[in-house]
Structure 1
Amino acid sequence: MTLAARAFTQLATWPDLTEAEPSCGTGRALRSPQSEIVHFHSDSTVDLHLTARAIRRFQAHLTGSAAVRLVPDSPWVTLRLDGNGEVELLMTLVSLALYAHHARPVPGDAPHTECNDHQRAVLSRENLGGG
Protein backbone atom coordinates (compact mmCIF):
# COMPACT_ATOMS: atom_id res chain seq x y z
CA MET A 1 0.00 0.00 0.00
CA THR A 2 1.40 3.42 -0.95
CA LEU A 3 1.77 6.21 1.57
CA ALA A 4 -1.04 8.13 -0.14
CA ALA A 5 -3.35 5.11 -0.09
CA ARG A 6 -2.60 4.52 3.58
CA ALA A 7 -3.22 8.19 4.41
CA PHE A 8 -6.46 8.25 2.41
CA THR A 9 -7.71 5.10 4.15
CA GLN A 10 -6.93 6.57 7.55
CA LEU A 11 -8.49 9.97 6.81
CA ALA A 12 -11.61 8.37 5.31
CA THR A 13 -12.42 7.05 8.79
CA TRP A 14 -12.49 10.54 10.32
CA PRO A 15 -16.07 11.51 11.17
CA ASP A 16 -15.85 14.99 9.60
CA LEU A 17 -14.60 13.70 6.23
CA THR A 18 -16.41 11.91 3.42
CA GLU A 19 -15.15 10.74 0.05
CA ALA A 20 -16.12 13.01 -2.84
CA GLU A 21 -15.35 13.59 -6.50
CA PRO A 22 -12.49 16.12 -6.66
CA SER A 23 -13.58 19.36 -8.32
CA CYS A 24 -10.37 19.32 -10.38
CA GLY A 25 -11.29 15.91 -11.77
CA THR A 26 -7.98 14.28 -10.81
CA GLY A 27 -7.56 11.53 -8.22
CA ARG A 28 -9.65 11.09 -5.07
CA ALA A 29 -10.92 13.66 -2.60
CA LEU A 30 -12.21 13.99 0.92
CA ARG A 31 -14.47 16.80 2.01
CA SER A 32 -16.06 18.21 5.13
CA PRO A 33 -19.61 19.57 5.19
CA GLN A 34 -18.10 23.03 4.54
CA SER A 35 -15.57 22.38 1.78
CA GLU A 36 -13.30 20.04 -0.10
CA ILE A 37 -10.36 19.41 2.20
CA VAL A 38 -7.86 17.14 0.47
CA HIS A 39 -7.18 15.85 -3.05
CA PHE A 40 -4.96 12.80 -3.54
CA HIS A 41 -3.59 13.33 -7.06
CA SER A 42 -1.02 10.53 -7.20
CA ASP A 43 0.74 7.97 -5.03
CA SER A 44 2.84 10.77 -3.57
CA THR A 45 1.17 14.15 -4.22
CA VAL A 46 -1.65 15.62 -2.16
CA ASP A 47 -3.33 19.04 -2.31
CA LEU A 48 -4.80 20.30 0.96
CA HIS A 49 -7.34 23.14 1.21
CA LEU A 50 -5.82 24.84 4.23
CA THR A 51 -7.39 28.31 3.67
CA ALA A 52 -5.55 31.53 2.90
CA ARG A 53 -5.78 32.66 6.53
CA ALA A 54 -4.21 29.45 7.87
CA ILE A 55 -1.45 29.58 5.25
CA ARG A 56 -0.62 33.18 6.24
CA ARG A 57 -0.60 32.24 9.91
CA PHE A 58 1.64 29.18 9.49
CA GLN A 59 3.65 30.20 6.41
CA ALA A 60 7.02 30.14 8.16
CA HIS A 61 6.39 26.59 9.37
CA LEU A 62 5.00 25.45 6.03
CA THR A 63 7.92 26.81 4.03
CA GLY A 64 10.32 25.20 6.51
CA SER A 65 9.33 21.77 5.22
CA ALA A 66 10.85 20.51 1.98
CA ALA A 67 7.70 18.41 1.48
CA VAL A 68 5.38 21.45 1.31
CA ARG A 69 4.87 23.60 -1.78
CA LEU A 70 2.84 26.82 -1.89
CA VAL A 71 1.23 28.52 -4.87
CA PRO A 72 0.85 32.31 -4.66
CA ASP A 73 -2.69 33.41 -3.76
CA SER A 74 -3.92 29.82 -3.39
CA PRO A 75 -5.70 28.58 -0.26
CA TRP A 76 -4.31 25.10 -1.08
CA VAL A 77 -0.90 23.63 -0.19
CA THR A 78 0.74 20.75 -2.02
CA LEU A 79 2.40 18.05 0.03
CA ARG A 80 4.80 15.42 -1.28
CA LEU A 81 4.51 12.16 0.64
CA ASP A 82 8.00 10.65 0.73
CA GLY A 83 7.89 8.99 4.15
CA ASN A 84 6.01 8.45 7.38
CA GLY A 85 6.93 11.95 8.59
CA GLU A 86 5.04 13.51 5.70
CA VAL A 87 2.01 11.31 6.39
CA GLU A 88 2.05 12.53 9.99
CA LEU A 89 2.40 16.12 8.73
CA LEU A 90 -0.59 15.54 6.44
CA MET A 91 -2.71 14.32 9.37
CA THR A 92 -1.78 17.43 11.35
CA LEU A 93 -2.52 19.74 8.41
CA VAL A 94 -5.88 18.05 7.73
CA SER A 95 -6.80 18.67 11.37
CA LEU A 96 -5.77 22.29 10.94
CA ALA A 97 -7.75 22.55 7.69
CA LEU A 98 -10.89 21.16 9.32
CA TYR A 99 -10.54 23.68 12.14
CA ALA A 100 -9.92 26.53 9.67
CA HIS A 101 -13.01 25.64 7.64
CA HIS A 102 -15.17 25.44 10.77
CA ALA A 103 -14.09 28.94 11.79
CA ARG A 104 -16.04 31.92 10.54
CA PRO A 105 -15.72 32.43 6.75
CA VAL A 106 -13.02 34.76 5.51
CA PRO A 107 -13.11 36.61 2.17
CA GLY A 108 -10.76 34.94 -0.30
CA ASP A 109 -11.41 31.45 1.04
CA ALA A 110 -14.17 30.61 -1.40
CA PRO A 111 -15.30 26.99 -1.12
CA HIS A 112 -14.83 26.19 -4.82
CA THR A 113 -11.31 27.56 -5.25
CA GLU A 114 -9.33 25.39 -7.68
CA CYS A 115 -6.64 23.21 -6.12
CA ASN A 116 -2.95 23.48 -7.00
CA ASP A 117 -2.98 20.50 -9.37
CA HIS A 118 -3.58 22.86 -12.30
CA GLN A 119 -1.25 25.62 -11.12
CA ARG A 120 2.23 26.07 -12.59
CA ALA A 121 3.95 28.63 -10.33
CA VAL A 122 4.68 26.54 -7.27
CA LEU A 123 6.90 28.20 -4.68
CA SER A 124 9.34 26.04 -2.81
CA ARG A 125 10.85 27.01 0.51
CA GLU A 126 13.96 28.17 -1.38
CA ASN A 127 11.88 30.59 -3.45
CA LEU A 128 10.34 32.00 -0.28
CA GLY A 129 13.67 32.51 1.47
CA GLY A 130 13.39 29.40 3.63
CA GLY A 131 16.71 27.90 2.76
Structure 2
Amino acid sequence: MKLAVHAYAELAGWPDLVEVSPSCGTGRALATAHGEIIHFHSDHDVDLHLTVRAIRRFQEHLDATRAIRVVDGSPWVTVRLDTSGDIHLLTTLVTLALQAHQAWPDPGDAPHSTCNDHHSAAETQYLSGG
Protein backbone atom coordinates (compact mmCIF):
# COMPACT_ATOMS: atom_id res chain seq x y z
CA MET A 1 0.00 0.00 0.00
CA LYS A 2 1.29 3.46 -0.86
CA LEU A 3 2.29 5.45 2.21
CA ALA A 4 -0.04 8.38 1.48
CA VAL A 5 -3.00 6.01 1.02
CA HIS A 6 -2.18 4.35 4.35
CA ALA A 7 -1.83 7.72 6.12
CA TYR A 8 -5.07 9.02 4.58
CA ALA A 9 -6.97 5.89 5.64
CA GLU A 10 -5.71 6.26 9.21
CA LEU A 11 -6.40 9.99 9.51
CA ALA A 12 -9.81 9.87 7.78
CA GLY A 13 -10.99 7.74 10.70
CA TRP A 14 -10.17 10.41 13.27
CA PRO A 15 -13.34 11.93 14.80
CA ASP A 16 -12.21 15.56 14.34
CA LEU A 17 -11.45 15.16 10.61
CA VAL A 18 -13.83 14.98 7.64
CA GLU A 19 -13.14 14.54 3.93
CA VAL A 20 -13.53 17.68 1.81
CA SER A 21 -12.53 18.81 -1.66
CA PRO A 22 -9.12 20.51 -1.48
CA SER A 23 -9.33 24.24 -2.17
CA CYS A 24 -6.16 23.96 -4.27
CA GLY A 25 -7.88 21.45 -6.53
CA THR A 26 -5.18 18.78 -6.19
CA GLY A 27 -5.55 15.41 -4.47
CA ARG A 28 -7.66 14.72 -1.40
CA ALA A 29 -8.19 16.77 1.74
CA LEU A 30 -9.31 16.49 5.34
CA ALA A 31 -10.75 19.37 7.36
CA THR A 32 -11.78 20.29 10.88
CA ALA A 33 -14.47 22.68 12.04
CA HIS A 34 -11.78 25.39 11.66
CA GLY A 35 -11.07 24.64 7.98
CA GLU A 36 -8.89 22.51 5.77
CA ILE A 37 -5.96 20.99 7.59
CA ILE A 38 -4.43 18.26 5.38
CA HIS A 39 -3.96 17.99 1.61
CA PHE A 40 -2.71 14.71 0.13
CA HIS A 41 -1.16 15.83 -3.18
CA SER A 42 0.69 12.69 -4.29
CA ASP A 43 1.88 9.29 -3.12
CA HIS A 44 4.60 11.07 -1.13
CA ASP A 45 3.71 14.72 -0.46
CA VAL A 46 1.21 15.89 2.14
CA ASP A 47 0.60 19.53 3.04
CA LEU A 48 -0.43 20.20 6.64
CA HIS A 49 -1.91 23.47 7.90
CA LEU A 50 0.21 23.60 11.04
CA THR A 51 -0.26 27.38 11.62
CA VAL A 52 2.39 30.09 11.52
CA ARG A 53 2.50 30.26 15.32
CA ALA A 54 3.10 26.49 15.69
CA ILE A 55 5.77 26.57 12.98
CA ARG A 56 7.56 29.37 14.82
CA ARG A 57 7.19 27.60 18.15
CA PHE A 58 8.57 24.29 16.85
CA GLN A 59 10.96 25.65 14.21
CA GLU A 60 14.03 23.98 15.72
CA HIS A 61 12.37 20.56 15.64
CA LEU A 62 11.04 21.08 12.12
CA ASP A 63 14.50 22.16 10.95
CA ALA A 64 15.96 18.92 12.32
CA THR A 65 13.62 16.74 10.24
CA ARG A 66 14.55 15.97 6.64
CA ALA A 67 10.99 14.92 5.79
CA ILE A 68 9.63 18.44 6.40
CA ARG A 69 9.56 21.30 3.93
CA VAL A 70 8.80 24.77 5.28
CA VAL A 71 7.81 27.71 3.07
CA ASP A 72 8.64 31.10 4.59
CA GLY A 73 5.48 32.86 5.74
CA SER A 74 3.20 29.91 4.98
CA PRO A 75 1.03 28.35 7.70
CA TRP A 76 1.46 25.01 5.87
CA VAL A 77 4.34 22.52 5.99
CA THR A 78 4.90 19.72 3.51
CA VAL A 79 5.66 16.27 4.87
CA ARG A 80 7.47 13.89 2.52
CA LEU A 81 6.31 10.32 3.10
CA ASP A 82 9.19 8.01 2.21
CA THR A 83 9.09 5.56 5.14
CA SER A 84 6.52 4.27 7.61
CA GLY A 85 8.24 6.47 10.22
CA ASP A 86 7.15 9.48 8.18
CA ILE A 87 3.52 8.43 8.70
CA HIS A 88 4.13 8.49 12.46
CA LEU A 89 5.68 11.96 12.08
CA LEU A 90 2.64 13.11 10.08
CA THR A 91 0.14 11.82 12.65
CA THR A 92 2.10 13.51 15.43
CA LEU A 93 2.07 16.78 13.48
CA VAL A 94 -1.66 16.44 12.77
CA THR A 95 -2.27 16.15 16.52
CA LEU A 96 -0.18 19.29 17.01
CA ALA A 97 -2.05 21.06 14.20
CA LEU A 98 -5.43 20.19 15.72
CA GLN A 99 -4.29 21.61 19.06
CA ALA A 100 -2.82 24.70 17.40
CA HIS A 101 -6.04 25.49 15.54
CA GLN A 102 -8.08 25.15 18.73
CA ALA A 103 -5.75 26.70 21.30
CA TRP A 104 -3.73 29.30 19.40
CA PRO A 105 -5.93 30.88 16.73
CA ASP A 106 -3.90 33.40 14.75
CA PRO A 107 -5.33 35.96 12.29
CA GLY A 108 -2.45 35.14 9.89
CA ASP A 109 -3.72 31.58 9.62
CA ALA A 110 -6.91 32.29 7.73
CA PRO A 111 -8.64 29.16 6.38
CA HIS A 112 -8.20 30.42 2.81
CA SER A 113 -4.40 30.36 3.13
CA THR A 114 -2.93 28.65 0.09
CA CYS A 115 -1.24 25.32 0.71
CA ASN A 116 2.37 24.74 -0.34
CA ASP A 117 1.34 22.90 -3.52
CA HIS A 118 1.04 26.29 -5.23
CA HIS A 119 4.52 27.49 -4.29
CA SER A 120 7.26 27.04 -6.86
CA ALA A 121 10.29 24.86 -6.14
CA ALA A 122 12.44 28.02 -5.98
CA GLU A 123 10.41 29.24 -3.01
CA THR A 124 10.59 26.02 -1.03
CA GLN A 125 13.30 23.94 0.50
CA TYR A 126 13.41 20.53 2.12
CA LEU A 127 15.36 21.07 5.27
CA SER A 128 18.66 19.24 5.40
CA GLY A 129 18.59 18.45 9.06
CA GLY A 130 20.51 21.36 10.38
Superposed pair shares fold, TM > 0.5: yes
> Root-mean-square deviation (CA), in Å?
1.0
TM-score normalised to the size of structure 2?
0.95
**SS of aligned partner of 2:16:** coil
Offset from partner CA, 1:99-127 (integer Å, 9 cap, x none): 1111242121111100000102113324x
Offset from partner CA, 1:54-93 (integer Å, 9 cap, x none): 0000011011111000001000000100001100000000
Runs of 4+ in 1 over 6 A off after TM superposition: none
Q: Which residue of 2 aligns with 1:123?
A: 125
**SS of aligned partner of 2:58:** helix
Q: What is the rounded CA distance, in whole Å, between the counterparts of 1:16 and 1:99 in structure 2?
A: 11
> Structure 1 stretch 26-35 or stretch 100-109: which is displaced more?
100-109
**SS of aligned partner of 2:74:** coil
Q: What is the rounded CA distance, in whole Å, between the counterparts of 1:30 and 1:92 in structure 2?
A: 16
The alignment-based identity, stated in percent, is 61
Q: Which residue of 1 aligns with 2:101?
A: 101
Match runs of 1:11-30 below 5 Å? 11-30=11-30
Task: Provide the aligned length of Structure 1 versus Structure 2.
Answer: 128
Q: Which residue of 2 aligns with 1:91?
A: 91
Q: What is the rounded CA distance, in whole Å, between the counterparts of 1:25 and 1:65 in structure 2?
A: 28
Q: Which residue of 2 aligns with 1:35?
A: 35
Query: In the alignment, residue 88 of structure 2 is paired with which amino acid?
Result: E
Check the 8 A contact 2:53/2:104 in 1, yes or no: no
| Post-superposition offset of 1:3 | 0.5
Check the 8 A contact 2:45/2:78 in 1, yes or no: yes
Check the 8 A contact 1:63/1:124 in 2, yes or no: no
| Post-superposition offset of 1:35 | 1.4
Q: What is the rounded CA distance, in whole Å, between the counterparts of 1:40 and 1:124 in structure 2?
A: 17
Query: In the alignment, residue 16 of structure 2 is paired with which amino acid?
Result: D
* Runs of 5+ consecutive residues of structure 2 not aligned to the other structure: none
